[in-house]
């Protein structure tokens, strides 16, 4: 239960920090943090939680990461569903807190997207379903390669949170214009449920693509790099 609680809290922080920066601060008058700030916020949430709870639960904070670590031989199958449940619940709780905060401002409108992920007319840059699918698969694949490599027993010890956090920052810098960046089904679910409508209708892609990408990343790492000792 301690591990599941850690995953709940960690995913709560990821969604509140990352999506919160997008909803509350990205376009704030005169001092908005913009795309770069949002990307950094997501990376910082993962890095800070990796140091805070990595020794407790491994700090997955992401159903795709849990699946990828299982495929990479680093995680037990029996813990997959409890981890994923804790992550999704933490994300939804964060979405609720963010909604309460954001709706406290006059003119707040969920139609603006509430940091939801989307494709087609709901892509920030108007990118197609195919572009969104390829982006999410490839970005999650690279994220798993970074995670597996940074946490490999043969890698320098103690630096994994920094590499993983910066890796997620880079992923956001690349893909925010395409899908608003998911690479995390829990993150997508946590805000989409509050938007409903199109955000829920398109949510399937942000479960399918990250999990597929994570599986590919795990297979590539084991085949190219080799299993750690």
pLDDT means per 10 residues, the chain with 229 residues, are 95 96 84 88 96 94 96 92 97 96 90 92 96 98 95 87 96 96 97 94 97 96 72
What's residue 175's pLDDT?
96
Q: How far apart are CA 225 and CA 147, in angstroms?
A: 13
Give the pLDDT of residue 124: 94
Contact 10, 22 (CB under 8 A): no
- Mapped to the 3 state alphabet, what secondary structure does 111-166 carry? HHCCCCCCCHHHCCCCCCHHHHHHHHHHHHHHHHHHHHHHCCCCCCCCCHHHHHHH
Please give the pLDDT value at position 170: 97
Q: What is the structure's pLDDT at 227?
A: 59
- If phi > 0 it is left, if psi is from -120 to 50 it is alpha, else beta; for residue 155 that is beta
Tell me the C-alpha distance between 138 and 11, whole Å: 22
**Non-local CB neighbours of 158 within 8 Å, separated by 6+ positions:** none
Q: What is the CATH number of domain 2-225?
A: 1.20.1080.10
Task: Return d(Cα 9, Cα 91) in angstroms, integer.
Answer: 9
Q: Cα separation of 120 and 76, whole Å? A: 37
Contact 183, 139 (CB under 8 A): yes
The domains of the chain are located at 2-225
Residue with tokens 């939801």: 116
Q: Which residues of 140-155 are buried (b: 16+ CB within 10 A; e: fewer)?
A: bbbbbbbbbbbbbeee
């Amino acid at each position: 239960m301690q591990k599941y609680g850690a995953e709940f809290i960690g995913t709560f922080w990821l969604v509140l920090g990352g999506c919160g920066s997008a909803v509350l601060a990205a376009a704030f008058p005169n001092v908005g943090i913009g795309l770069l700030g949002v990307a950094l916020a997501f990376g910082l949430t993962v890095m800070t939680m990796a140091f805070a709870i990595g020794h407790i639960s491994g700090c997955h904070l992401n159903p795709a990461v849990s699946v990828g670590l299982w495929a990479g031989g680093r995680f037990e199958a029996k813990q997959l569903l409890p981890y994923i449940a804790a992550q999704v619940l933490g994300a939804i709780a964060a979405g609720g807190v963010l909604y309460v905060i954001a709706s406290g401002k006059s003119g707040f409108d969920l139609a603006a997207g509430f940091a939801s992920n989307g494709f087609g007319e709901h892509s920030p840059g108007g990118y197609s379903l195919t572009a969104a699918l390829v982006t999410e698969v490839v970005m999650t694949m690279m994220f798993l390669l970074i995670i597996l490599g940074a946490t490999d027993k043969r890698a320098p010890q103690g630096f994994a949170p920094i590499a993983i956090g910066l890796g997620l920052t880079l992923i956001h810098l690349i893909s925010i214009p395409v899908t608003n960046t998911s690479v995390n089904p829990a993150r997508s679910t946590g805000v989409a449920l509050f938007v409903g409508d199109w955000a829920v209708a398109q949510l399937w892609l942000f479960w399918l693509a990250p999990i597929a990408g994570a599986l590919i990343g795990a297979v590539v790492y084991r085949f190219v790099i080799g299993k750690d000792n």
